[in-house]
Structure 1
Amino acid sequence: MAFGIDDASPAFAVAVIDGPYDQAALSNVLARAPLRLAGGSCDTSPKGACDHGTFIMGVLGARPDAPVPGLCPSGRLLHLPLFADTNAAFAGVTGLAAAIAQAADAGARLINLSLAIMDEGAAINRRLAAALDFAHTRGCILVAAAGNQGRPTSGQLLTHPAVIPVVAVDALQRLLPDSNFGPALARRGVAALGQMPGYAPGGGLTTMSGTSVATAVATGMLAQLWSARRNLDAATLRSALARLGPRDGAVPPILNRAIVAAALDRATPATIPAARGAETAPTAPKSSHVSLQGATSMEYGNGRPFPVEASGMIAPPAAPAVTPAGCSCGGGQADDESALSGFVYAIGTVDAVYPNLAIEREMLALSKALRIPFPARRAPNIAPTEDRLWQHAVLSADRKLTRYLARQLRWRLTIEELPVFVLQPNDAGFYDDLIDALNRPLHEAPPAPTPPPPARGRQRAGRKARETASEIARDIEATRSPLGPVEDLDVVVGALGPRTADGTVVAIDQLFQTTPALLAPASLIGLPQLADNHGLTDGERACNFLAARCRLGLPVKSGYNLSGARVMPSRLGAGFGRIVRVIFTYSNASGAIEEHFVRVDVTHEFPMIVSELQPYLERGERT
């Protein structure tokens, strides 16, 4: 039997499955008293679950004139306290399934799930699957937290067609370090502000961050949009969310109210394309319990209002991710972060770094047990345990024995000796590829010219003539240039992850080595300079793909040299994906130029050539 909400009620129903909330603290804050669909209350000394539940209820239901205005004060909140008031609150997946079914049966249009399923197993939880299917058939949308483990994730809950997963970003739209991410979330989820003030048990204000907060922000914005358009169904709203983009990386687009509202205002169910994968049956694993996901950073304030307007919590999205006309392939990090594709195609050098002194000492102890000496020659500024060839010798001596150390090392990709990415293998097999990448020594610069021997003739008394072969060899060694950096030949393809203090995380999907001959063919002298970039934008990825994988064989006329390259969007990509043109410019001493171009499809993680090299005809697109 449904719980007391009349279908004719003007209030838009939003269910909150969370911890209990402090009714006394929110009695003068909430615009409407929530309808409680289950028992549960805060402890006499409120703990983590009460902190969490109070905060989420206040974020959604506070009056417009409250110190921190609520995001959907006109809606009717349905409260289901799933978690008991403990600091490490958790509940069973079966209990979550029952709460979802109860909320859907009570008439909720949106269900806020500021929680995550932990301890993933190997099978689908059938009760949760049935509850999600029931909510789907009742026209509900569930808004669920991605989780705060800072890793790629998926799961039965987050991949169900009725669920909109939410990742957390800061005010600058950067993924919070603790927020989960991943391609499965990017295809159908949204990103929302994950740091904001709210209400605490006992009165006063507090701040909280995490995907729980982002989920409440997303639920509030969707409630505003949907409650103003009661004739729309859940499928239409989900389809409108699919207009947000791009959705081909590891992080979903920012939830922007204006873009979704515009799509809804001109939409019917037949005119908006469904999100990719939106109707895919869940295939993710079972989990053993459910955990709240909002207490990653929670501090009690001094009770003063925060200067925050809830209606402006989400910044507008930046420009579409298209490389501007005339943009060079190189140039390092993209100036406009909105141009990031969500994928990485970078050329650099793989390095292994010790995260702490204990791991370095363990590596040294293992080398002694395996009787692996240090190399005779290495760069003067490199410690013995940091020598690449020595690291490779230790880690590859017995890979079954040393695999635990390979997992403990911090693997990085440096570009022109600058550490840029932290490499996160998606598969254990990648550790062998990472170890093998160390088996490339530092450059040995060509020796300096040997000084001519002293003129023969009368020698001063006591001075010996340096004629022996050993002395000449010693002279050559003394004038030899020091070892230089390793050549950037390691190619990393993967999904862009969160930023950390050590660099931006890349979830590796492919790792291989290119060759100097392929990277710098005779017809493209200077191409390696074009690959000196982070490989994050469409243009950078296209240039790096061409440098690492393709023999273009440009027709070079006598006297012409490569003088530049630029990337421009292709008209052929409109409506189908993202296709760019990489245009190579050759010039001679008199200033005459020849241009050729190739089209590259960069819509997906692995680029591909869609039209072969051909002469470029200027069509007034240079500006």
Structure 2
Amino acid sequence: MHQETEVTAQQTDSPQRVNGVGVLRPQTDLRPAAVISSQAGCATCGGAGATAGLSVNDSATPSYVYAIGKVEARFLNLAAEKEFAQATGRTDTAGKTDQQAFHAVLSKRENRYLVRQMCWVLSIQGLDTYLLVPRDPADIELLVEAIRPAPSPNDIDVVIGMRGPIAPPTMCNGLMVPIILFGQMYSFDRVALIEAIPKPEKVAAAQFGPAADEVFSRIMQMTDNAGATDEHRALNYLAMRYPAIYGKAAEQFAQDCSLTGVDVRPAPMSSTRNTVDVIFSYTNRNTDFTDKYFVRVDVTEEFPFLTTKMSPYYGREIGRAR
């Protein structure tokens, strides 16, 4: 994902590794979360031919997804589960937890056929939300990497792609949720992400960590954030890719202000491109005076990107975009 110019385009860089996971490592105000190449190798998820011919209708307006949740591997059917049990018996799993043993079996080269017999579910806020189908079946290794040997409530997976049809019942043991044909995926730990965000010079480290965590939580808890609308795609993109929103929050908290709103509105005069303004409102706890700052994000295509950095917001008060 390029060094930022005055108007920032989508960027790429090599990931930083913290405790074995990729995290945000900005060199300027804009840098992406660590990149893990698109997961794949799931062309046979749901059984042979279950996803054959699966594609997005090129003649229709594509529906993009930028979702944040957790990836889970599930057995396609009873036969796949029994085959996995036999493979477990051939693997040295002494002293391992069930999850570690599960990871160990899938990690063995000779068991790659089992990876293709799993279905891959993205859960958001504990709800099964999408079935994942990678565009490139060559990336089967990353399916295994998405399964942590020691999972944590802080695990985060970000999936970027195009929304396909509702999955047929045969694809994942009766689970019928929308399919994402995804082109990119990031996997990392929330704690490591927060710790890797660069701290503003004017803000103490003891203040910045809680401030960043609160902003991240606020975005994640916004109602129905399945990453399928322009508003939610912009929010999720900023949470993953733009450290300045965390720095501004820490500065405002230090000035005795509360984060009282995060709104998303269509950007004015954006007829040729689909752009939105993400507006952060901070209200002084003593005077009730509210300052607003905004970031403009282009969400026209699959990969959102920043067009205006964090700036004071003086727009007219119009109805909130949902």
Whole-angstrom CA distance in 1 between matches of 2:149 and 2:218: 21
Q: 1:490 to 1:614 in 2, by over 3 A?
A: same
Kept after mapping to 2: 8 A contact 1:422/1:505: yes
* Distance verdict in 2 for CA 1:519–1:414, change over 3 Å: farther
Tell me, yes or no, if structure 1 residue 569 matches structure 2 residue 266.
yes
C-alpha distance in 2, partners of 1:404/1:370?
15
Q: Which residue of 1 aligns with 2:91?
A: 370
Kindly indicate whether the alpha-carbon contact (under 8 Å) linking 2:154 and 2:189 is maintained by their aligned counterparts in 1: no
**Secondary structure at the counterpart of residue 573 of structure 1:** coil
TM-superposed deviation, 1:563 = 2.5
SS at match of 1:489: strand
State the AA in 2 paired with 1:587.
T
Structure 1 residue 504 and structure 2 residue 178: aligned?
yes
Contact 1:344 1:493 in 2 (8 A): yes
The answer to whether the 8 A contact 2:261-2:280 is kept is yes
Report the Cα distance in structure 2 between the residues aligned to 1:572 and 1:494, rounded to whole angstroms: 27
Output one character per residue of 1:253-283: Cα deviation in whole Å (capped at 9) or x when no partner.
xxxxxxxxxxxxxxxxxxxxxxxxxxxxxxx
Q: How many residues align?
A: 241
Q: Which has the larger radius of gyration?
A: 1
Give the letter aligned to residue 599 of structure 1.
R
- 1:212-231 to structure 2, matched below 5 A, reads none
1:529 equivalent to 2:218? Answer yes
2:281 aligns with 585
Whole-Å Cα distance in 1 between the matches of residues 149 and 262 of structure 2? 30
Q: CA deviation at 1:390?
A: 2.6
How much does 1:505 deviate?
0.6
Distance 1:546 1:355 in 2: 35
Identical positions, percent: 31
Letter in 2 for 1:423: L
Q: Provide the residue aligned with 2:120 in structure 1.
A: 411
- What secondary structure is seen at the aligned counterpart in 2 of 1:584? strand
Matched, 1:608 2:282: no
Name the structure 2 match of 1:441: 150
One-letter identity of the residue aligned with 2:106: L
Cα shift at 1:367: 1.7
Contact kept, 8 Å, 1:531 with 1:540, in 2: the verdict is: no
Counterpart amino acid of residue 285 in structure 2? A
Matches within 5 A, 1:235-246: none
Partners of 2:181 and 2:259 in 1: CA distance: 34
**TM-score w.r.t. structure 1 length?**
0.36
Tell me the secondary structure at the aligned position of residue 273 of structure 2. Answer: coil
Partner of 1:596: 293
User: Which structure's residues are more often strand, by fraction?
Assistant: 2
Structure 1 window deviating more from structure 2 (420-429 vs 547-556): it is 547-556
CA distance in 1, matches of 2:302, 2:239: 16
User: What is the letter of the counterpart of residue 566 of structure 1?
Assistant: D
**Aligned counterpart for 1:550 among listed residues 234, 242, 253:** 242
User: How many angstroms does 1:585 deviate by?
Assistant: 1.3
How far the C-alpha of 1:621 sits from its partner, in A, is 2.2
- Check 1:374–1:361 CA distance in 2 against 1; reply closer, same or farther (3 A cut): farther
Equivalent pair of 2:258/2:285 in contact (CA under 8 Å): no
Q: Following TM superposition, by how much is the alpha carbon of 1:346 offset from its aligned partner in structure 2, in angstroms?
A: 0.5
1:345 — aligned with what? 66
Hey, what's the Cα distance between the residues in 1 that align with 2:136 and 2:122?
Answer: 17
- Map Cα deviations across residues 86-106 of structure 1 (whole Å, 9 max, x no partner): xxxxxxxxxxxxxxxxxxxxx
- Post-superposition shift, 1:434? 2.0
Is the CA contact (8 Å cut-off) linking 1:562 and 1:585 kept in structure 2? yes
Cα displacement (A) at 1:430:
3.2
* Matching residue of 1:538: 230
Residues 490 and 402 of structure 1, relative CA distance in 2, 3 Å threshold: same
Q: CA deviation digits over 1:223-272, x for unaligned, max 9?
A: xxxxxxxxxxxxxxxxxxxxxxxx2x1xxxxxxxxxxxxxxxxxxxxxxx
Q: Secondary structure at the match of 1:603?
A: coil
> How far is 1:507 from its partner?
0.7
The residue number in structure 2 matching 1:392 is: 103
Per-residue deviation, 1:536: 0.1
Change (3 A) 1:353 1:151: closer
Secondary structure class of the residue paired with 2:121: strand
AA in 1 matched with 2:278: V
Q: Equivalent residue for 1:323?
A: none
Q: Write the deviation string for residues 349-375 of structure 1: whole angstroms up to 9, x where unpaired.
A: 110011212111111211211222473
- The secondary structure found in structure 1 opposite 2:162 is strand
Identify the residue that residue 316 of structure 2 maps to in structure 1: 619
Contact 1:565 1:584 in 2 (8 A): yes
Residue 569 of structure 1, CA deviation? 0.3
Name the amino acid aligned to 2:148.
N
Equivalent position amino acid for 2:88 in 1: S
Structure 1 counterpart SS, 2:317 = coil
Asked if 2 retains the 8 angstrom alpha-carbon contact of 1:514 and 1:548, the reply is no
Describe how 1:487-502 pairs up with structure 2 within 5 A. Answer: 487-500=154-167, 501=169, 502=175
What is the distance in 1 between the residues matched to 2:82 and 2:95? 15
Question: TM-score, normalised to structure 2's length?
Answer: 0.68
**TM superposition shift of 1:618:** 3.3
**C-alpha distance in structure 1 between counterparts of 2:237 and 2:269, whole Å:** 20
Paired with 2:233 and 2:240, the residues of 1 have a C-alpha distance of: 10
**Contact conserved, 1:150 with 1:498, CA < 8 A, in 2?**
no
In the alignment, structure 2 segments of 5+ residues that lack a partner are 1-48, 170-174, 198-207
Q: Name the aligned partner's letter for residue 577 of structure 1.
A: R
The CA distance in 2 between the partners of 1:403 and 1:599, in whole Å, is 43
C-alpha deviations, 1:311-338, integer Å up to 9, x for none? xxxxxxxxxxxxxxxxxxxxxxxxxxxx
**One-letter code of the match for 2:273?**
G
| C-alpha distance in structure 1 between counterparts of 2:112 and 2:300, whole Å | 35
Maintained 8 Å contact 1:347/1:488: no
CA change 1:561–1:440 in 2 (3 A) is: farther
Q: CA deviation at 1:440?
A: 5.4
Give the whole-Å Cα distance in 1 for the aligned partners of 2:218 and 2:107: 33
**Distance in 2 (alpha carbons) for counterparts of 1:440 and 1:559:** 42
Counterpart Cα distance in 1 of 2:194 and 2:139: 23
Which residue of structure 2 lines up, in the alignment, with residue 361 of structure 1?
82
